[in-house]
Protein backbone atom coordinates (compact mmCIF):
# COMPACT_ATOMS: atom_id res chain seq x y z
CA UNK A 1 0.00 0.00 0.00
CA UNK A 2 1.21 3.47 -0.84
CA UNK A 3 2.28 5.81 1.91
CA UNK A 4 0.18 8.96 1.48
CA UNK A 5 0.84 12.00 3.57
CA UNK A 6 -2.01 13.58 5.47
CA UNK A 7 -1.18 17.01 4.05
CA UNK A 8 -1.66 15.69 0.50
CA UNK A 9 -5.07 14.30 1.36
CA UNK A 10 -6.11 17.49 3.11
CA UNK A 11 -5.07 19.63 0.13
CA UNK A 12 -7.11 17.41 -2.18
CA UNK A 13 -10.19 17.56 0.05
CA UNK A 14 -9.84 21.18 1.20
CA UNK A 15 -8.06 23.19 -1.49
CA UNK A 16 -6.59 26.50 -0.40
CA UNK A 17 -8.70 29.46 -1.24
CA UNK A 18 -6.77 32.02 -3.18
CA UNK A 19 -7.74 35.62 -2.96
CA UNK A 20 -9.16 36.92 -6.16
CA UNK A 21 -6.79 39.02 -8.22
CA UNK A 22 -9.72 41.18 -9.26
CA UNK A 23 -10.31 44.44 -7.50
CA UNK A 24 -13.75 44.99 -5.99
CA UNK A 25 -16.13 46.85 -8.23
CA UNK A 26 -16.23 50.60 -7.73
CA UNK A 27 -19.48 51.92 -6.28
CA UNK A 28 -21.89 53.39 -8.77
CA UNK A 29 -21.72 57.18 -8.94
CA UNK A 30 -24.55 58.80 -7.07
CA UNK A 31 -26.24 62.11 -7.62
CA UNK A 32 -24.74 65.02 -5.69
CA UNK A 33 -26.65 65.86 -2.53
CA UNK A 34 -29.32 68.51 -2.81
CA UNK A 35 -28.16 71.92 -1.60
CA UNK A 36 -29.42 72.75 1.85
CA UNK A 37 -29.06 75.88 3.88
CA UNK A 38 -29.48 76.31 7.63
CA UNK A 39 -32.01 79.10 8.12
CA UNK A 40 -33.89 80.15 11.24
CA UNK A 41 -37.47 78.92 10.98
CA UNK A 42 -39.66 81.20 13.05
CA UNK A 43 -42.58 78.86 13.64
CA UNK A 44 -43.63 77.13 16.89
CA UNK A 45 -43.57 73.75 15.16
CA UNK A 46 -39.82 74.06 14.44
CA UNK A 47 -39.13 75.66 17.81
CA UNK A 48 -37.82 78.92 16.30
CA UNK A 49 -34.51 77.20 15.63
CA UNK A 50 -32.25 76.97 12.62
CA UNK A 51 -33.21 73.99 10.48
CA UNK A 52 -31.88 72.76 7.11
CA UNK A 53 -34.02 74.22 4.31
CA UNK A 54 -34.28 72.91 0.74
CA UNK A 55 -34.44 75.15 -2.34
CA UNK A 56 -37.98 75.97 -3.43
CA UNK A 57 -37.36 78.33 -6.31
CA UNK A 58 -35.11 81.28 -7.09
CA UNK A 59 -34.21 82.85 -3.75
CA UNK A 60 -36.78 80.77 -1.84
CA UNK A 61 -36.18 78.03 0.73
CA UNK A 62 -38.63 75.46 2.14
CA UNK A 63 -38.52 74.06 5.66
CA UNK A 64 -38.99 70.27 5.69
CA UNK A 65 -40.35 70.39 9.25
CA UNK A 66 -43.31 72.72 8.75
CA UNK A 67 -43.40 73.32 4.99
CA UNK A 68 -43.00 77.08 5.30
CA UNK A 69 -41.39 78.74 2.27
CA UNK A 70 -39.38 81.85 2.98
CA UNK A 71 -37.12 84.20 1.08
CA UNK A 72 -33.39 84.03 1.44
CA UNK A 73 -32.29 86.06 4.44
- 29 within domain boundaries: no
- 24 within domain boundaries: no
Q: Which domain holds residue 43?
A: 34-73
- 47 within domain boundaries: yes
Q: Select from 61, 9, 59 the least CA-distant residue to 40.
A: 61
pLDDT of residue 73: 62
Query: pLDDT per residue over 4-17, tens digit each?
Result: 788 788 777 877 76
The tally of domains found in the chain comes to 1
- 45 within domain boundaries: yes
- 44 within domain boundaries: yes
Query: pLDDT per residue over 33-44, tens digit each?
Result: 778 889 888 888
Please state whether the predicted TM-score (pTM) of the whole model is above 0.85.
no
Q: How many residues does the chain have?
A: 73
Name the maximum alpha-carbon separation found in the chain. Answer: 92
Amino acid sequence: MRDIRLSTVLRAVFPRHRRSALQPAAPAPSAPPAPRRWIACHTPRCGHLETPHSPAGPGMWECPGCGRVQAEA
